Amino acid sequence: MDARTSSATSSASRVGAARIGIGGPVGSGKTALIERLIPAFAARGVSLAIVTNDLVTAEDAERIRRSGLIDPARVAAVEAGACPHTVIREDPTLNIAAADDLEVLFPDVELILIESGGDNLASTFSLDLVDWWMFVIDVAGGDDIPRKKGPGVLKCDLLVVNKTDLAPYVGVDLEAMAAQAATARAGRPMALTNCRSNNGIDAIADRIVSDVLFR
């Protein structure tokens, strides 16, 4: 066999559930967003499964499993091996394998949410792994984040600015921050949320149902 040509050079088309990435810095509210999206998708009749990436513990996966919002068997945890960006970008194989297994275990699954471990503004998702991805930042992390134009902020399909309720307490002009984010993203989609009070969640769920599931 010719070793040079024995393997295809591009991956075959995949048929299965749509896969969505949720990335962003530590503490920005990625898990809280998922906890709000689970009932939002349930209300829209979307069958869901979740993969979490935890760095040191299984904290996020256990939090979602114990939430009572979803069958715990539909939540898979992938340990990221000290590199949260590697497992979603350079080498997403562990996440792909976890998502593949969820699809086989739950053939009705339409949507798989893949939550990255907390990372920096440069983290992005491989399109080998996801079809569409969000990047979650929060106002308490600093109103200069959009101006820094990290790849996470610029390249995601939807930028989520969370914890909007904290703006007045951390000296952030939310309107200006949103305007700077819109400028940095050249008008690409953005959402303002307060996961604690469920503000802005329905709009995200509707967008995903429309843009990803094509309903």
Partner 1 sequence: MSLSATNLLVALQHADGQFPSGGFAFSQGLEASSSLADRLGAFDFADFVDIQIRHRWADADRVALVRAFRLAGDLDALAELDSEVEASTFVEGLRLGSRRNGTALLTTHGRLGTKGATAYRGMVRNGSACGHLAVVQGLVWQALGLDEATAVAIGGYQMVASLATAAVRLGLIGAIDAQASMARALPAIEAAGSRPVADGEALRSFTPLCEIAVAMHGVSGQRLFSN
CB of 80 to partner 1, least distance (A): 7
> Closest by alpha carbon to 159, among 127, 128, 129, 183?
183
Of the pair 16, 39, the CB lying nearest partner 1 is at 16
Q: Given candidates 61, 94, 191, 192, which one binds partner 1 under the rule CB under 8 A?
A: 94
DSSP conformation class of 13: P
Does position 107 bind partner 1 by CB under 8 A? no
Identity of residue 38: I
Element (H, E) at 101: helix 93-105
Q: Which residues pair with 93 in a beta bridge?
A: none
- Minimum distance from CB of 4 to partner 1 (Å)? 5
Angstrom distance (rounded) from CA 174 to CA 1: 61
User: Which has the closest alpha carbon to 139: 14, 10, 29, 61?
Assistant: 29
Kindly identify the residues of this chain, within the stretch 161-180, that bind partner 1 according to CB under 8 A. none
Q: Which two tokens stand for residue 71?
A: 């069958």
**Site for partner 1, residues 58 to 87, rule: CB under 8 A:** 58, 78-83, 86-87
The only residue of 35, 44, 100, 207 in contact with partner 1, by rule CB under 8 A: 100
Q: Residue numbers of the site for partner 1 (CB under 8 A)?
A: 1-4, 6-9, 11-12, 14, 55-58, 78-83, 86-87, 90-94, 96-97, 100-101, 104, 128
Residues that constitute the known binding site = 24-31
